[in-house]
Amino acid sequence: MDINVPISQFKRIGTVTLKKLEKLKLKTVQDLLFHYPFRYEDWSKVLTITELKTKKSGTVKAKITLIANHRSPRKRMVITEAIISDKTDSLKTIWFNQPFLATVLRPGTEAYFAGKIDFDETYGLEFLNPSYEIAGRKEPIHTGRLVPVYPTTANLSQKQIRSLIRQALPLAQTINDWLPREIRTAHNLPPLSVALEQIHFPSNKSWLERSLHRLKFDELFLIQLQNQLVRRELKKYQAPPIKFNLDETKKFVTHLPFQLTDSQRKSAWEILKDLEKNQPMNRLLEGDVGSGKTMVAILTILNTCLSKYQAAYMAPTEILAKQHFETIRGFLRQWPINIALFSRTDQKLATTKTQSGSESLKSSASQRLQKISKASLIKKIRNQKVDVVIGTHALIQEGVNFANLALVIIDEQHRFGVEQRSALLSDTKHTNTRELHEERKIIEKELSYKLNGIFFDVQKEAGRYLRERQYADLLEQKLKSAGIAYQRENPIELAGRKSNFADFIIENKILVELKAKPFFEKDDYYQLLRYLESAKLQLGLLVNFKQKFLKPKRILNPKFESFECDSSISSCLVPHFLSMTATPIPRSLALTLYGDLDLSIIDEIPKGRKKIITKIVPWTERQETYEFVRQQIKNGRQAFIICPLIDPSDQLGVKSVKDEYNKLKKNIFPDLEIAILHGQLKPKEKDKVMNGFLKNKINILVSTTVVEVGIDIANASIMIIEGAERFGLAQLYQLKGRIGRGAHQSYCFLFADNQSLKTYQRLKALLTAKNGFELAEKDLELRGPGEIFGTEQSGYLEGLKIAKLTDTDIIKEAQEAANTILSKGPELRAYPLLAKKIKNLQQTIHLE
C-alpha cells in the first residue's frame, strides 16, 4: 500500500461513507493524512468519577455496570441509560437515539467516556451523550488524550473520520520527506511522518506545537519557493515594450465625464511606466470595489492599442465579461480601436472606422456593433483585425491565437494563486503567432517572412485540398517569379544513403518541408530535424497546407548555437500581466502571498458618491427593516441578502441560504420574486439568476458571498447581511461595496445573531472606516488573516491549509530557507525530492 491508494480499499468501508468522504474531497490515503484537525478537545487527563462530578466535564475510565434501552414517552426517541462506575463512584449516563450502544457496551466492559455532566432537577447528575471508546490494547483515539476534531460533513461522525485517519497513519512512514535535511536541522523541524502522526494524535501539547510548526513551515516554504521561482522565470522572458503615449492619454483623460482620482493617476502611471520596459510586467492592482480599477485598465489598453499591440481582458464570469465589454467599448468608442467580446455563448465585435493613418481621437463617434461567429472572430484576432478581446479565461485556455498580444488583464485576480499565474503564463507563451520585437535577432528573419508570405499565397490560390506535389509545383513557380534561389528535392544523406529528399532548400539557408495532411505528426518534426542535421543547416520550416490557419513551424537545428527563441523559452516574448482585485490585502500580506508581483494600490473612492447608510440592526427592529425593504422594492429597487456559513461542514453555506430563502418566501415576502445563488449552482444556472437580477426580474437575491464580486447592479440599493458577526470586517466592507453604485440612496443592514457588546464594537468599525485597507489591517489585528478572506475565498489561500498569514516568524523562517535553497541554483538539482514536489504542485494545478 502507498499513500495514493484510494480509501475504498480500506476494510469495512461502505459506498455511503465513501460518498461523504468525497464531499470533503477525501479520496486517497494521502488526502486523509493531510486532512488536518481544526481543533482539539483536551481529554488528555483521565479523571476519576468523583473528580468528574466536581469538574463537570472531562474523561473518565470506567466500567459499565448496567445498561438498557427504553423509549421516551413523549418524543419518539430511544434512550440508552447506563450506570458506569470506577473505584471512586458511579454515574448515570445517557445517550439518545443510539440503541446499538446497549449491545456494544455490555455490562463489565471497561471504556473511556468523555463529555459533559448535566444537572437535571428530576434526574440529578447525568453524563450526557459522552463519546466512548472501549479500553483495550490500543491507545485511545477518541478519549483520554488530546482528541482531534476535524472538518466534517453531514452524518459523518468525528469518530468515523478519526478511525479512518488512524488506519491511514502507518502509511505516513512511506512518504519521502521532501524538505531538505539541512533545512530541517537548521530550523529544528521534525520529520514529515512524525509531524503527520502528531498533528492527528498528538502525544502532548509540546509535540503538537512542534508538528504544527513543521506543517505550517512546509506550506509557507513552498509558497515562497514557488513565488521566487516564478519571479526568476519571468525575468528570463522578454515582453514587447509599449510606449506610454502621454499626449493621447491626456486627451483621453480630459474627455472623461469625471476627474481621475489621485490614486487612479498614480496607479496608471506606475503601470504605464512598467509597460515601457521590455521585461514583462507582473503587477497587482488593488482597490476597493467601486474605486475605479476598470478605468486604469482602460488607460493601459488604450496605450497598448495605440502602439498597435493587442490586449486581452479576462473576467471571472461571463456576465462580468459582457458588462466590461459594454463599459470598455463605451469609453473607447471614439478611438480607432476594435473591441471584441469572446465568451462561451456570445461573440460580438465593435469596430470603428479609421481614417487611415490617423491614430487620434475622432470627433464623431461611429462605432459599429455586430454579432459574429466564433470562427470568424478567432480569425480576426489572429489577423489583428481586433485590438482588444474581452472574455473569460476560456479565452486563453481555448488557445485563441493572437497576432501580437502584449497585455493581459485579469480581473478579480484574488481567486488565483501563484500556481495559476504560472500556468497562465505558460498558456500565453505560445499565443503570439507573429514576432513582435523589432530588435530581436531572429534567424533569417527577412527571408522567412518572405517565404511565409509566399506560403500564404500558395494556399490562397490552391485551397486546402491538393496533394503535396501540387503545392510544391505551385511554390516552385512562385519562388521563381519572386527571384528567390532554391533547390528542389535535394538528396539528403541519411545513414550513409542518399535516398531521402528535402522538398526545398532556399538560398542554401532554409530547408522547407511541405505537407498536406490533417495534422502534423511528431515524425514530421523529427524527420525535418534529421534533414537539418545532415544538410548542416540551421533553420527548417515545416508547412502543412491542409492547416486551416496556415502556421509554418520554425524548427531550429539544435546543433547550432543560436539566439532564437522557438526552442528555448528564454527569449520568447510574453505579454505584460495586470491583475486586479478588490480584496484589500494589506501590503505585508500581499508580499507573502504574491511575492512574485509588484503592487499598485487605489486607496480612495471617487468623489461625489452617495454615502451608503449602514446600520447595525437590533433584533427588535428586524420586522421594521423588512417593511422598509418592501417599500424600497415597491419603489423599484432591488436587494441582496447575504448569508454566512453555518458551520465548517457546510462549506458553501448552501444550507443557510436555502433556509433563509424558504423563510423569506413563506413568511416575509411571499409576493416578491426571490432567487437563490450559491457556489453549488452550475455556471449556467448562476448566469440565469444573475441575468434575472440584472434585468430586475428578481427583487431579492439570497446569496452566499459568491455573488460575483465586481458585478455592477446600479439598481440594487439594499444589502442585508445575516450573521454579520461571522464575517471579517474587510469582507463586510466588500459586500457593502456591491450596492451604492447607482444614483439611489443605498442601505446596508447588518443583522447579528450574536448581539454581544464585543460584536457590536467590532461591527461599528465598519461604520467609521475610511477604506477597505484600514479595515483589513484591523481585521488582521483582531481576528487573523483567515478571516479577512472568509472560507469561500480561501481558494485563494490554496496552499495554506494550516499556516496563517499571521505566523510572521514562520513566514520569515520559510523565506530564509527558500533563499538558502535557491542560492544553490533554481533547478534544485541537489534536492530532487523537493524539485519533484514543486513540479507536482504545478501540474495538479495546471490540470484543474
Instruction: Summarize as ranges the residues that interact with ligand ADP (CB under 6 A).
Output: 258-261, 264, 287, 289-295, 582, 606, 710, 712
Nearest to Mg ion of 216, 414 (CB atom): 414
Q: Which of 844, 842, 818, 816 is nearest to 831 (CA)?
A: 818
Residue type, 582: A
Nearest to ligand ADP of 574, 776 (CB atom): 776
Q: Where are the alpha helices (DSSP H) in 62-180?
A: 101-104, 158-168
Which residue in this structure is represented by grid cell 463586510?
Answer: 732
**Near Mg ion by CB under 5 A, which window of 418-426, 621-629, 673-681, 704-712?**
704-712
Q: Which of 578, 277, 313 is nearest to 437 (CA)?
A: 277
CB of 582 to ligand ADP, least distance (A): 6
Distance CA 83, CA 98 (A): 16
Quick one: what does residue 260 bind among Mg ion, ligand ADP, none, with the CB cut-off 5 to 8 Å set by partner type? ligand ADP
Which backbone phi and psi does 791 adopt, to 5 degrees?
Answer: -60, -35
Nearest to ligand ADP of 411, 813 (CB atom): 411
Quick one: what does residue 290 bind among ligand ADP, Mg ion, none, with the CB cut-off 5 to 8 Å set by partner type? ligand ADP
Tell me, residue by residue from 670 to 689, as one string, x for binding to Mg ion by CB under 5 A and - for no binding: --------------------
Which backbone phi and psi does 364 adopt, to 5 degrees?
Answer: -110, 130
Nearest to ligand ADP of 215, 748 (CB atom): 748
Nearest to ligand ADP of 202, 316 (CB atom): 316
Cell numbers given for 723: 450573521
Nearest to Mg ion of 287, 785 (CB atom): 287
Does 391 bind Mg ion (CB under 5 A)? Our answer is: no
Which backbone phi and psi does 665 adopt, to 5 degrees?
Answer: -65, -45
Nearest to ligand ADP of 703, 734 (CB atom): 734
CB of 287 to ligand ADP, least distance (A): 5
Which backbone phi and psi does 347 adopt, to 5 degrees?
Answer: -130, 130
Which residue in this structure is represented by grid cell 483623460?
Answer: 253
User: CB of 294 within 8 A of CB of 328?
Assistant: yes
**Near Mg ion by CB under 5 A, which window of 21-29, 150-158, 221-229, 707-715?**
707-715
Residues 6+ apart with CB under 8 A from 482: 450, 454
Nearest to Mg ion of 168, 694 (CB atom): 694
CB of 520 to Mg ion, least distance (A): 41
Distance CA 577, CA 409 (A): 6
User: CB of 282 within 8 A of CB of 590?
Assistant: no
Nearest to ligand ADP of 692, 742 (CB atom): 742
Give, as one character, the DSSP assignment of residue 646.
S
CB of 340 to ligand ADP, least distance (A): 20
Distance CA 477, CA 462 (A): 13
Nearest to ligand ADP of 295, 474 (CB atom): 295
Residues 6+ apart with CB under 8 A from 650: 656
Does 710 bind Mg ion (CB under 5 A)? Our answer is: yes
Residue type, 479: L
Quick one: what does residue 820 bind among Mg ion, ligand ADP, none, with the CB cut-off 5 to 8 Å set by partner type? none
Quick one: what does residue 422 bind among ligand ADP, Mg ion, none, with the CB cut-off 5 to 8 Å set by partner type? none
**Near Mg ion by CB under 5 A, which window of 29-37, 336-344, 384-392, 702-710?**
702-710
Residue type, 278: N
Quick one: what does residue 291 bind among ligand ADP, Mg ion, none, with the CB cut-off 5 to 8 Å set by partner type? ligand ADP
Please give, one letter per residue, the 3-state secondary structure of 78-110: EEEEEEEECCCCEEEEEEECCCCHHHHCCCCCE
CB of 214 to Mg ion, least distance (A): 40
Q: Which of 522, 521, 503, 523 is nearest to 512 (CA)?
A: 503
How many residues in the shown chain lie near Mg ion by CB under 5 A? 1
Quick one: what does residue 38 bind among Mg ion, ligand ADP, none, with the CB cut-off 5 to 8 Å set by partner type? none
User: CB of 46 within 8 A of CB of 60?
Assistant: yes
CB of 606 to ligand ADP, least distance (A): 3
User: CB of 736 within 8 A of CB of 766?
Assistant: yes
Nearest to Mg ion of 144, 710 (CB atom): 710
CB of 581 to ligand ADP, least distance (A): 9
Which backbone phi and psi does 830 adopt, to 5 degrees?
Answer: -75, -10
CB of 597 to ligand ADP, least distance (A): 18
CB of 478 to Mg ion, least distance (A): 51
CB of 264 to ligand ADP, least distance (A): 6
Nearest to ligand ADP of 633, 711 (CB atom): 711
Quick one: what does residue 403 bind among ligand ADP, Mg ion, none, with the CB cut-off 5 to 8 Å set by partner type? none
Cell numbers given for 593: 502571498
Residue type, 404: N
**Near Mg ion by CB under 5 A, which window of 439-447, 476-484, 510-518, 709-717?**
709-717
Half-sphere exposure (CA, 13 Å, Cβ side) for 312?
Answer: 31
**Near Mg ion by CB under 5 A, which window of 208-216, 259-267, 414-422, 706-714?**
706-714
**Near Mg ion by CB under 5 A, which window of 127-135, 220-228, 384-392, 703-711?**
703-711
State the residue number with the nearest CB to ligand ADP.
292
Nearest to Mg ion of 240, 710 (CB atom): 710
Does 292 bind Mg ion (CB under 5 A)? Our answer is: no
User: CB of 147 within 8 A of CB of 132?
Assistant: no
Q: Where are the alpha helices (DSSP H) in 12-149?
A: 15-23, 29-33, 49-55, 101-104
CB of 259 to ligand ADP, least distance (A): 6
Partner residues linked to 617 by β-bridges: 751
CB of 249 to ligand ADP, least distance (A): 15
CB of 625 to ligand ADP, least distance (A): 27
Give, as one character, the DSSP assignment of residue 421.
H
Q: Which of 625, 701, 622, 717 is nearest to 657 (CA)?
A: 701
Nearest to ligand ADP of 252, 402 (CB atom): 252
Nearest to ligand ADP of 294, 600 (CB atom): 294
Distance from the Cα of residue 752 to its chain's centroid: 30
CB of 253 to ligand ADP, least distance (A): 10
Quick one: what does residue 264 bind among Mg ion, ligand ADP, none, with the CB cut-off 5 to 8 Å set by partner type? ligand ADP
Report the relative pairing of strands 598-602 and 674-677 from DSSP bridges.
unpaired
Cell numbers given for 383: 489577423
Q: Residue numbers of the site for Mg ion (CB under 5 A)?
A: 710
